[in-house]
Structure 1
């Protein structure tokens, strides 16, 4: 079973029984999530002498998927279960492939004939975007799996003319600069996040209006610091708010990934409680990450009206500033794996090979306050 097959089961809320044969700590830290998935975690080394001891724990009436880190161990366990008469599948490429799978979902049509697509990195919780209009495309918050965006744009007959990062990412390696170099597109980055970068870029600042075909990406007055000092949001077509890592569906962005939580928490509150309050409540918030699988809509996309989030998101409803500061600074999850190395890679200071990049990104995203 490949990652795309499993993603469809997540989107469709299908039943699936997962036998995960990684170590317990790896399983507890990060696993394949689905609303109707059930799990059994038995490390591979405990099964080297045979699978007879777990046969009564594996349901015969459910579809069964065996999962490991890179595929090899799950193939062997699946073969042993098959020899015992069970029908099972294994995850092609293992959790490595699960981490890298991107599923494009059409979010909606734009007023002047364009479209906006969301690329759901289902195993990592990352969300990136492609805005298409009149044969041109802009990409926002691209992952390092750049071929997927290039192939998708080619298949729909669009030329990539602009690439944006809403901020300097710390949980995953950006593919924005590579896409821009490949397509000769303009690469935009907030200058306050780019003080240490080693490459040329176009400064993404309040007041810029970038046209994609017939569609304006208007970033005027949407400088939105708090997750980073340069974080910038986009309003697209007066219908969509791309909030980066400032606002999520069920949480808000963490301000500490540059070690400046106490300094940036005030910026975070100003963005969420003042700047965003001035925007239309009808804007559909499209964040750069999702935290839990329940945030996915019925079609697999992630997004909700801003007004709904102001009513339901706890992080937007703490009137006392002191309590807000405490809530943010005292409820920070562990830092993302290799986050400092990822930041330096996105600055151009490091150039790790593909295997090292995979290793740096392994694990769940941790961009939100708990």
Structure 2
């Protein structure tokens, strides 16, 4: 029986998120298999991570001790938490007192949402960004005069319900900027739970099997004292129906069309060649007509370097036209090649996710978790 007085500690996904947002140094020992680690891992500006599969540590952790920093906090990570607890206990036995394990493993990391205030609105109210840091998804809540609208809602709907309640707001609208392929939307379910209106671009809704409100130009949606102006930014390219939102004449919710360091990919419905022209027109013409002072708020981020102060993912549109490689490919042929060739692999279970978001299949909660495991892959990055 151990006489070591150090108690095994768990670190929650929320605690880990706050460390990453604060750029605190952390050493991660990931004990999943090498394939899973290479496909999807915890990242941050001050995160150092190594991968040693659990089965290599069953007979002892001596081999890993020399690879660990002497004076830095260590977090052990696995898929569900069991293996990481075992390894963390072994490290504590070897007199490492600064060790913890990730509570719930990578499954909990995949589902954690961290609300971040983006700013105040002109006529009162605020806009918040919900950072799903483990998967790079971003949702938004606009709150004004006791009402709320949620954009690109994730399936963890209780997070949005609770946040709205804490802010004394009734959820009146949920909106999807497009039919998502990398994660399961919670927009329709949240609307059903709260009596809110669910909005979806009609050009993305040809195959859906449920009723919805048409999210299209000239459809002004009012939230309390704040008008969400859906004009003039029908913005196809990632999907044929992609529709951006301008909130309070200040914020451009760009969906999966434009990100901070990348642009959207046009191939997730198998129509890259058909949609690449739409994508170029949206980015190089339609968005060009908008104010450069709009703050771009995308539906995803791909790299931890896109996280700004306090975890915000946001940038001024004019700055992106100078700095984002995807907005600076002047040759049409080169642009087509960039967004149709050498793309990252498609998101895990993306066909099933699209079918779920159409209402055609209804997987269980556990099946939905499995479908979403892994990173989002909605962007074309500069390699």
Match of 1:64 in 2: 74
Distance in 1, matches of 2:39 and 2:177, equals: 27
Q: Describe the SS at the equivalent of 2:368.
A: helix
Q: Which runs of 4+ in 1 moved over 2 A?
A: none
- What is the TM-score when the length of structure 2 is the normalising length? 0.96
Q: Deviations over 1:77-105 (max 9, x none)?
A: 01111111112100000000000000000
**Match for 1:324 among 335, 344, 354?**
335
Choose which of 9, 16, 37 in structure 2 pairs with 1:6. 16
Matched, 1:49 2:56: no
What's the CA shift for 1:58?
Answer: 1.6
2:129 is matched with 118
- Which digits, 9 at most, give the CA deviation of each residue in 1:13-71, with x for residues without a partner? 11000000000111111101011111121100111111122211122300000000000
1:164 aligns with 2:171: no
What residue is the counterpart of 2:302 in the other structure?
291
2:287 pairs with 1:269: no
The aligned counterpart of 1:201 is 212
Residue 228 of structure 2 is aligned with which of 214, 217, 227?
A: 217
SS in 2 for 1:199: coil
Could you tell me how far apart the structure 2 residues matched to 1:331 and 1:306 are?
A: 26
**In structure 1, what is the equivalent of residue 34 of structure 2?**
24
* Number of matched pairs: 370
Residue in 2 that maps onto 1:145: 156
Q: Alignment partner for residue 362 of structure 1, among 373, 376, 383?
A: 373
Q: Secondary structure at the match of 1:57?
A: coil
Give deviations 1:184-219, integer Å, cap 9, x for gaps. 000000011011001110011111101000000000
Unaligned runs of 5+ in 2: 1-10
Pairwise CA distance, 1:331: 3.1
- 1:151-192 CA-to-partner distances (Å, cap 9, x unmatched) read 000001000000000000000000000100000000000011
1:302-321 equivalent positions in 2, closer than 5 A: 302-321=313-332
Q: Residues of 2 paired with 1:84 and 1:323: CA distance?
A: 56
Q: Distance in 1 between matches of 2:173 and 2:342?
A: 36
* TM-score calculated relative to the size of structure 1: 0.99
Aligned with residue 165 of structure 2, among 131, 134, 154: 154
The answer (yes or no) to whether the contact 1:331–1:369 under 8 Å persists in 2 is: no
